[in-house]
Structure 1
Amino acid sequence: MHWTEIPADVLASFRAGAVIPAQPLALDRHRQLDRRRQRALSRYYIDAGAGGLAVGVHTTQFGIREVGLFEPVLETAAETAAGWSDRPLMLISGVVGRTAQAVGEAQIARGLGYHAVLVSLAALRGASDDELIEHCATIAREMPLIGFYLQSAVGGIRLTTSFWQRFAALDNVIGIKVAPFNRYATLDVVHGVASSGARERVTLYTGNDDHIVLDLTVPFRTEAGPIQFAGGLLGHWSVWTRTAVTILERCKAARATAAVPADLLALDSAVTDCNAAFFDVANDFSGVIAGCHEVLRRQGLLEGRWCLDPDEELSPGQSTAIDRVYLLYPELNDDGFVAANLDRWLGAN
């Protein structure tokens, strides 16, 4: 195997549960990489209290690979993290495509100092479980692996309880991002991990942006004992990140009590309502990337909401939907935190 061990403090932080934002792509008006603002995003997440960064994932736009930005974006995030924080930060790179491409991307990530890779299986649609497991095992020989149950609306494939049992049993799997936006499919992952015998080693992170708070608060009952989501690796947490850190702290505190406070239960639907606006649920997630960019643009972190695809924009009515949740849930934004630090994040080398 070529991979190196994850530093003990980084792995401990990951297993304890952290806020890990899925990092967007900062582009200028010519749709070229804006390194200054890309670095500012990483600094924002670190200062907000995030426990890691996920780069090269869906929120970063999978298309970075076709325009030669995969390595530059990963490198920018890794260098910024190294120069900005002395806290243990888990650096996660997305890897996509068929096996040769995914292995090549894992090797790039390893060379840049990343700790683990998040594997998307969308390119293997129609493959058998045996083929999927062999694909994952091959990547795991290069880097510690985090599974990814991607929702079908943005290209994910159906994965069974049996698949997740076999996946969790792979030696170099450290976690799973569970993001099918589907409670039945979420249970498939939970019971697959429980039956694998690896639930102490494989840490579950919610990617269910439609059910964040309850995923992080309420445990799942399994035959092997209770299983709990530790933290979140979320596109939703690419915005209002300082508040996300506070929410995770509240969820962790509630886990230790006999009863979940009513206001925390109510927060689940409030966060989901905000997500519906940011992710453009009304239009089948058509404006999901642009919606996150719009929030960051309003805060000044991004210059514009440009995506790699010129046709990828806010849907009709989406800006109004974002206005609505800003007004309805003013306590959930972190605009004040961003305003107080923006010049520092943008101005540092």
Structure 2
Amino acid sequence: MSYPSLLPSHAELLKEGTVIPAHPLALTNERKLDERRQKLLTQYYIASGAGGVAVGVHTTQFEIRKPEINLLGSVLQLAADQIRDSNPQRPFLKVAGIVGTTTQALKEAELALKHGYHLGLVSMGGLNDLSESDLIKRLEAISEVIPVFGFYLQPAVGGRLLSYDFWKDAAALPNLYAIKVAAFNRYQTLDVVRAVCASDRRDEIALYTGNDDNIVADLLTTYRCTVNGKVIEKKFVGGLLGHWATWTGAAVELLKRIKSSANDDRSIAELLTIGIQVTDMNAAIFDPANSFHGCIPGIHEVLRRQGLLEGTWCLNPDEKLSQGQAEEIDRVCRDYPELVDDQEVKLFLEKTLSHQY
């Protein structure tokens, strides 16, 4: 069977590893789509040096799919149009979130393809009535429409536990190019890595961290698995992260530093210390102390402070910053100034807005 494929330049970028922010949703105070700021966010990610964006994912708010809201097509198109207009002069990956039953997922895959998206990030969430075998069939059907980015989403935000055998079967699919691991759990992360190492397609599949609580350690670690008596090595090469929707310029510089740290023990030791600082920053914006209730508003709050968003509004009015969360964001910005990009964002806004008016 003939599958839709990635251009070699996009496939190479994905395999080399890059920063892919999960794209937030810009709203007005009436909770309507703010198209200008939605496009401004996309411009910011391009200007920050990110290698792509993921749109229609958890950070974009799953409520965009509700019939009475119906914003999935709009946000996919706005990002695609802005990327075209910005013309980055380099490969830039467009990743579309895909959710729901096979019927819904196939419709979303077709919509993503219509808007020129390169990959579908396929969530297994909300499908607890399906067996793992059924999930593989669904994944295979989607892969016949659009190249697939597998996705292990933690149960705390709507995902489900998936076995080593599931990921081994997923890795065998000929049109699966990458897997995002957002299990927030080292045991389950290891299941995915072992499964990919056991696959004949191991060299064709890029691993991306979505473990916002363990970003740097994921990217520094070389996994060694023994397969049929042979030691196979595999690394996470980049990240597709809600955390990287904020302070994106700093994230790009951090990934560059991680990639250049090979075999430098002092550099790696320092990066592990920085990794704990990144986790501390993530705790402030993702709000694990309150079961991640303030996760999306936390992202919005950082972007609001920088001038990229007007407010922290979500489609669900119950999604707000938790008590004390703003103060935690104050603290981490004060304690880790080298991990924020406020000055770069200020210069970006001055340059961008001066051209718009």
Taking structure 2 as the reference length, the TM-score comes to: 0.95
Query: Does residue 156 of structure 1 match 2:159?
Result: yes
Question: CA–CA distance in 2 between the matches of 1:348 and 1:138?
Answer: 44
Deviations 1:209-242 (A, max 9, x none): 0000111111111114111001000000000000
Q: List aligned pairs for 1:142-181, cutoff 5 A.
A: 142-181=145-184
Question: What is the match of residue 75 of structure 2?
Answer: 73
Q: Is the 8 A contact 2:29 2:311 kept in 1?
A: yes
Q: Which amino acid aligns with 1:70?
A: L
Question: CA–CA distance in 1 between the matches of 2:276 and 2:331?
Answer: 15
Question: CA–CA distance in 2 between the matches of 1:257 and 1:15?
Answer: 23
Question: CA–CA distance in 2 between the matches of 1:169 and 1:345?
Answer: 44
Query: Does residue 208 of structure 1 match 2:215?
Result: no
Question: CA–CA distance in 2 between the matches of 1:56 and 1:345?
Answer: 25
Deviating 4+ runs (over 6 angstroms): none
Question: What is the match of residue 139 of structure 2?
Answer: 136
Query: Does residue 62 of structure 1 match 2:62?
Result: yes
Cα deviation for residue 98 of structure 1 reads: 0.4
Question: What is the match of residue 25 of structure 2?
Answer: 25
Query: Does residue 276 of structure 1 match 2:283?
Result: yes
1:240 to 242, 247, 254: 247
Cα deviation for residue 300 of structure 1 reads: 0.3
* CA gap 1:3/1:31 in 2 versus in 1, 3 angstroms: farther
Q: Which amino acid aligns with 1:267?
A: I
Question: CA–CA distance in 1 between the matches of 2:354 and 2:23?
Answer: 20
Cα deviation for residue 259 of structure 1 reads: 6.3
Q: Which amino acid aligns with 1:245?
A: V
Deviations 1:158-197 (A, max 9, x none): 0000000000100100000000100000000001111122
Q: Is the 8 A contact 1:2 1:143 kept in 2?
A: no
Deviations 1:54-88 (A, max 9, x none): 00000000111111100000000011011111210
**Which consecutive unaligned segments of at least 5 residues does structure 2 have?**
none
* CA gap 1:284/1:170 in 2 versus in 1, 3 angstroms: same
Deviations 1:310-332 (A, max 9, x none): 11100001001101101111111
Question: What is the match of residue 44 of structure 1?
Answer: 44
Taking structure 1 as the reference length, the TM-score comes to: 0.97
* CA gap 1:22/1:2 in 2 versus in 1, 3 angstroms: farther
Question: CA–CA distance in 2 between the matches of 1:124 and 1:249?
Answer: 37
Question: CA–CA distance in 1 between the matches of 2:354 and 2:185?
Answer: 42
Question: What is the match of residue 126 of structure 2?
Answer: 123
Question: CA–CA distance in 2 between the matches of 1:171 and 1:254?
Answer: 33
Q: Which has the higher mean CA deviation after the structures are superposed, 166-175 or 220-229?
A: 220-229
Q: Which amino acid aligns with 1:36?
A: R
Question: CA–CA distance in 2 between the matches of 1:41 and 1:130?
Answer: 38
Q: Give the SS at the match of 2:126.
A: helix
Question: CA–CA distance in 1 between the matches of 2:326 and 2:312?
Answer: 12
Question: What is the match of residue 12 of structure 1?
Answer: 12
> What count of residue pairs does the alignment treat as equivalent?
349
Q: Is the 8 A contact 1:3 1:110 kept in 2?
A: no
Q: Which amino acid aligns with 1:19?
A: V
Cα deviation for residue 101 of structure 1 reads: 0.3
Cα deviation for residue 10 of structure 1 reads: 1.3
Cα deviation for residue 6 of structure 1 reads: 1.4
* CA gap 1:267/1:331 in 2 versus in 1, 3 angstroms: same
Q: What is the root-mean-square deviation of aligned Cα atoms in Å?
A: 1.4
Q: Which amino acid aligns with 2:59?
A: T
